[in-house]
Chain A
């Protein structure tokens, strides 16, 4: 290639960097979401568990 002028390819570059940042952002956000969901799950499960142990201690029948 013996071009005198540098080809104009800025659009591709912008698209590329925008894409890389969007994907990384989505991934980080997904981890944040999953983390929050799991923490909520743990809270619910722990409260269920304590309820259950209370019930089983108060009456022998289930």
Chain B
């Protein structure tokens, strides 16, 4: 395997730096929120990880379509990387949300549309990996994986819309709030921490994706070598 390209080395370095800065902004720079207290600071990472989790989900579905059209294995590696990295970030999002919910709503979990959709999305990811594990032929594995990410990518928004018919208490962070839901009021310092968090996690996400894609290339090489040796 080739050594890390310079751009990736720079990206690694940048990821560590932005993660540090984002942590500083969230924990020290941003003012303590009056209603929630310290735990509100969890929210900066919650939003950041949620954003990249969603980004990865959309990228995976797009890569699935691209694979089905081009049949290029590189899209498959991209798709696996997107799904895996966003599984990790989505998991962090869900647990951070849960930690926030405990003092805020006095419960670890509610069946709110965003929470439930996030949990179902995580289950789709897990099903995706189980599906891939059950198939030996790499080409077939890629095809089935692409079809499944496409199905998941379409069904998750509909799930969200359906669950919204039931009820919601999740605060709306961006955009208009209706009467029943509370809207978060952010001071300008909070906004800085908020948007920097989004930026930082985007960088970290790209970095992790890149590493995971390289790992996928290595996996493929091992599979091919195993085939030639056993022949």
Contacts and interface: CB of A to CB of B under 8 A. Distances in A.
Instruction: State whether these chains interact.
Output: yes
Interface in A3-44: 3, 6-10, 12-13, 15-17, 19-20, 23-24, 27-28, 31, 34-35, 38-39, 41-42
A31 B81 CA distance: 11
A20 B49 contact: yes
Interface string A35-58: 100110110011011001000000
A3 B35 contact: yes
A23 B95 CA distance: 11
B222 A24 contact: no
Nearest to B42: A16
A52 to B, nearest CB: 7
Nearest to A7: B37
Given A1-B35, A23-B88, A12 B211 contact: no
A35 B99 CA distance: 33
Interface string B61-83: 00000000000000000000000
Does more than half of chain A's interface fall in helix, strand or loop, or is it mixed?
Answer: helix
A31 B99 CA distance: 27
Contacts of A34: 215
Contacts of A31: 208, 211-212, 215
The range of chain B's interface size is 35 or more
Contacts of B218: 35, 38-39, 42
B33 to A, nearest CB: 8
B211 A9 contact: no
Contacts of A48: 229
The range of chain A's interface size is 20 to 34
A19 B222 contact: no
B12 to A, nearest CB: 10
Given A42-B222, A45-B226, A49-B229, A7 B103 contact: yes
A13 B222 CA distance: 43
A12 B215 contact: no
Given A19-B95, A19-B96, A45-B225, A9 B103 contact: yes
A48 B226 CA distance: 10
B35 A12 contact: no
Contact of B38 (A13, A23, A27, A38): A13
23 contacts: A3-B35, A7-B36, A9-B38, A10-B37, A12-B42, A12-B100, A13-B39, A13-B41, A13-B42, A16-B42, A16-B45, A16-B95, A17-B23, A19-B96, A20-B96, A23-B95, A24-B88, A31-B208, A38-B221, A39-B1, A45-B225, A48-B229, A52-B229
Given A20-B92, A52-B229, 5 more contacts: A6-B37, A10-B38, A13-B40, A20-B45, A27-B85
Give 9 closest A-B pairs by Cβ, nearest first.
A9-B39, A16-B42, A45-B225, A9-B37, A12-B39, A10-B38, A16-B99, A7-B37, A13-B38
